[in-house]
Amino acid sequence: MLHWNFRPGLFILIAVPMLHGAPQEKSRAPRIEFIELEGAEAPAQAPKLRWVATNDPTWTNGEPSFKIEGDPKVSARGWLAVSEQAILLKVEVRDQAHFNAKEKSDIWDGDCLQIGIDASGAASEKVQSSVSPTVASITAALTARGPELWAHYQGQYGTGRLREGKRHYPCAIVRDERAKTTTYSLAFPWGEFASLPGFAPLIGLCVQVNDSTPNEKQRRIYWGRGADGAPRPSLFERLAPGAPPGALRIATATRTTLWRPTDFGEIAVVAWGVDAFQLQARLGNLQKTWAPAKAPGKGVRRFLVRATPGVLPAAALPFECRLLDSQKKAPVICASKLVFTAGVIAALERRIEALLEKSPHPLFTRHLRSIQALVGAEWNRALFLVDRVPGAPDGVVRDAQTILDGLNAEMGQWKSFAVDGRSLLFVREAWPDSTLQFATFSLPKAWDSNRAYPLIVDLHGAGPSHVLFYPAMRLQTRTNETNWSPDEKAHYRLEPWGRGNNGYDDWGKMDVFAALEEVLREFKVDSNRIYLTGHSMGGGAAWNFALRMPHLWAAVCPIAGGTWYTPLGVGLGMNASNLPVRIWQGEKDTVVRATHATNMLEELGRYGNRGELVLVPGWGHEYPSGDWIYSNTQWLLSHVRKLPERFSYSTECDSFRGTRGIWMRRDLKGPAISRFDCALEPESVRLTSQGASGLTVRLGENGLGFTNTVTIWWNGSNAYKGPPVEVKLGEGGGWYY
């Protein structure tokens, strides 16, 4: 059992209201509105972006828009412009050699450009970018496969929301080895950023040049900042598009998805150098025309055309806008359709209810109710946010569709979980905040509920922080999911949700052990064969939990895990002196470098633990392949927990203060590191402590395991003799939290 004193969260069977696609409101009459935006002008001192004609090949002639210098090994110069079709960028990078051996989302880890774009300019006034679908962080690289573009972040969410981050915008990248230059020529279409030229008085841009050399730290130079990862538009350079080369009439649909009956579709219109015209809009059978007041010499004019159907359409509803000239001709037409995609939420609800009616097992019922509760909670949250964040429900719909597709296939069968080892979803009400938290849990293949199995606790790495990402990945069809139990040996696998990317700290840490407590209470687990692993952020947490609570685990295998929560050189390695450790690490990992692994191996070695280091040549920060998963799993399962008769424990924090039923009360007036040493004898316990004003000792079950009268010697004195109960020495050791 765990020695972790807090109210454990419960895996709960939650009855939730029907997950209707939207609140049921009385339908309203459809309407069309025309809005002219005023006061949206760029500051006079704002740098100007040249506006060029589409397909003008001369736009890069002349002086560059920016230069990046200062590093003797790499420099760059770049040209910027806008056209009616796209944001244009050309960058010439000068360096000694071009090197990029990466693929997909990892191409940033080679020679490349990382580009930040804020097509509306609005987010560039803010620190966070999650409120605007116009923001992106995109990498352009010349790889072994040719030029590639990858969106690490585009729109409301990061790559976890994107089915595929690869982009196919116009792109040419050429390396001139004689001149030692790499030239990037890129065009970012306005339509991909829910905007159009001239609609925003300012746009935000930045360019980061990454220069990589094998076995050296990557060099980076910047024009503007904020493109490395989730973009920070407040650090982008802000520029004002100049005047177009001629009269401009352009329109684009910026909002076409409806979530509630009160929602509207939207078309943005820009007219530049046009005096007299009319706007004509049509929504289904409703048509409306409006003539803006003349404004001679005003230059750019910006409009929004909004259409509110008043009811959620069963099918796509035509919505279009025309800009009519003085002869009533329509040189500009923007045709779109308003759609209601959230029907998948109601379809998922119907599928779950149908499966519940015939559920063959309580665990399958719990699993389905958990899906229902989690999707329902996220859907309600998204509907609350949608007025401020129009794209908030998109990800819920996408993940709900993935889950529904799985339930319509093999994930709708109990056999997939009881026989094939697929991942169940268990939701619980978490303490102390009463939020819904979850873990995925896989049964052994061909599970026998009367048999005790080993358990592997697997902690995920940092990634998408939205709640439904991991359930959707586990509940999708077999063709797309990695087999997380590749061996034929049967075992449970528990993967707690880490509350996003908080490093399994604070409440995230409590969630891990609450989920573990529940599994130990609900299932037959071999208590001497509980294992711990995790990747990246989860690998760092694995180090933390291994060194702080070593008595729980039969063996641990951190994968590319950092030592952020386990400071070296203060004695923590002593806690795991008897714990089998395998460290799996990519030799070329630049996110969590191999020094984390080698330094921890050295720390363990100080206390006689000859841990095993698997340093994989050429491997970066990727998750291990199927063969390595199998190898690591087999290594873990080969160990059985051993509890030595002599052990020591040290700590520098109050979150973890003991092991095996012994807890310290740290003396804050003493040394920063508190420590105790324990020697078990047939009828006695000998304890010494430093920096501790008291100890709590659990002598019997779920502690040191004595069954008869026992004597405690503490710092040389006889402190207790009696039955094997829980004993407080000095001020006692207290409890966690």
Question: What DSSP element (H or E) covers 455?
Answer: strand 453-459
CATH fold for the domain made of 246-338: Immunoglobulin-like (2.60.40)
Calculate the average pLDDT of the chain. Answer: 87
pLDDT range class, residue 125, cuts 50, 70, 90: low
Strand stretches in 582-691, DSSP E:
582-586, 612-616, 646-651, 658-659, 662-666, 674-681, 684-690
Contact 657, 674 (CB under 8 A): yes
Per-residue pLDDT at 371 exceeds 80? yes
Cα–Cα distance measured from residue 683 to residue 360, given in angstroms and rounded to the nearest whole number: 51
The whole-number pLDDT of residue 734 equals 62
Instruction: Kindly indicate the confidence band of residue 30, based on its pLDDT and cuts at 50, 70 and 90.
Output: very high
Structure-token match 């329109």, residue found: 251
Closest CA to 533 of 437, 466, 631: 631
Confidence category of residue 483, pLDDT binned at 50, 70, 90: very low
The more confident residue out of 1 and 387 is: 387
Asked if 547 and 577 count as a contact pair (C-beta separation under 8 A), the reply is no
Task: Select, from the ranges 49-53, 303-307, 341-345, the one with the highest average predicted confidence (pLDDT).
Answer: 303-307
Distances (CA, A) of 72 to 36, 65, 94, 141, 216: 51, 21, 10, 22, 15
The b/e string for 676-710 (b: 16+ C-beta within 10 A; e otherwise) is bebebeeebbbbebebbbbbbbbbbeebbebeeeb
The lowest-confidence range among 121-135, 165-179, 280-294, 620-634 is 121-135
Q: Across residues 150-179, what is the average pLDDT?
A: 77
Report the 10 Å Cβ neighbour count for 426. Answer: 23
Distance CA 111, CA 221 (A): 12
Q: Determine whether 201 is exposed, middle or buried from the number of CB atoms within 10 Å of its CB (0-12, 13-18, 19+).
A: buried
Nearest to 736 by CA among 208, 5, 44, 2: 5
pLDDT confidence of 648, banded at 50, 70, 90?
very high
Phi/psi-derived region of residue 297, left when phi > 0, alpha when psi is between -120 and 50, beta in every other case: left
Which residue is associated with the tokens 């309407």?
Answer: 31
Q: Two tokens at 619? A: 């491997």
User: What was the pLDDT predicted at 74?
Assistant: 95
What pLDDT is recorded for position 484? 43
pLDDT of residue 4: 37
Tens digit of pLDDT for each residue in 193-209? 888 898 888 999 999 99
Q: CB within 8 A of 170, min separation 6: which ones?
A: 86, 186, 187, 189
pLDDT in tens, 318-337: 999 999 887 777 788 899 99
Q: What is the pLDDT of residue 159?
A: 36
CA dist., res. 204 & res. 239, Å (int): 6
pTM of the model: 0.77
Query: What distance in Å separates the CA atoms of residue 582 and residue 135, rounded to the nearest whole number?
Result: 41
Q: Answer yes or no: is pLDDT of 530 > 70.
A: yes
User: Cβ neighbours of residue 88 under 8 Å, at least 6 residues apart?
Assistant: 52, 59, 79, 80, 81, 82, 186, 187, 188
**CATH topology match: 48-241 vs 246-338:** yes
DSSP string of 457-516? Answer: EEE--S---STTHHHHHHHS-GGGS--S--SSS--EEEEE--TTTSTT-THHHHHHHHHH
Question: Domain boundaries in the chain?
Answer: 48-241, 246-338, 343-637, 646-730
Class of residue 214 by CB neighbours under 10 A (exposed 0-12, middle 13-18, buried 19+):
exposed
CB 5 within 8 A of CB 735: yes
The β-bridge partners of 187 are: 88
Res. 457: pLDDT tops 90: yes
* Angle in degrees, 0-180, between the axes of helices 343-357 and 392-407, rounded to the nearest 10: 30
Per-residue pLDDT of 43-86, as tens digits, reads 778 888 999 998 888 999 999 999 999 788 999 999 999 999 99
Q: What class is the 343-637 domain?
A: alpha beta
Architecture per CATH, domain 48-241, reads as: Sandwich (2.60)
Of the spans 462-471, 473-482, 670-679, which averages the highest pLDDT? 670-679
pLDDT at residue 700 tops 50 = yes
How confident is the model over 224-266, as pLDDT tens digits? 999 987 788 889 999 998 888 888 889 999 889 898 888 899 9
How confident is the model at residue 578, as a pLDDT?
A: 93
Q: Where are the beta strands (DSSP E) in 564-666?
A: 582-586, 612-616, 646-651, 658-659, 662-666
Q: Is the pLDDT of residue 5 over 60?
A: no
